[in-house]
Amino acid sequence: MDVVGHRAGQRVYAEAKGRTSSPGLDIDTLDGQLLRRIPASQVGDAVLAVVVPDTAVKAAERVPARVREGLGIEIYGVGTDGDVRHAGPCLDPLA
Query: Which pLDDT belongs to residue 90?
Result: 57
Contact 3, 30 (CB under 8 A): no
Q: Is residue 74 part of a domain?
A: yes
Residue range(s) defining the domain that contains residue 8:
3-82
Q: Is residue 53 part of a domain?
A: yes
Q: What does each C-alpha distance from 82 to 31, 42, 52, 53 come to in angstroms?
A: 22, 29, 11, 9
Number of domains in the chain: 1
Asked whether residue 72 is assigned to any structural domain, the reply reads yes
Domain for residue 94, yes or no? Answer: no
78 located within any domain: yes
Q: Which of 77, 89, 84, 85 is nearest to 19 (CA)?
A: 77
Count of C-beta atoms within a 10 Å radius of residue 34: 20
The pLDDT tens digits for 12-33 are 899 999 998 998 899 999 988 9
- Nearest by Cα to 17 from 53, 49, 47: 53
pTM for this structure?
0.82
Confirm whether 42 is domain-assigned. yes
- Flag whether 91 is in a domain: no
Bridge partner residues of 88 (DSSP): 75
Residue 46 lies in a domain: yes
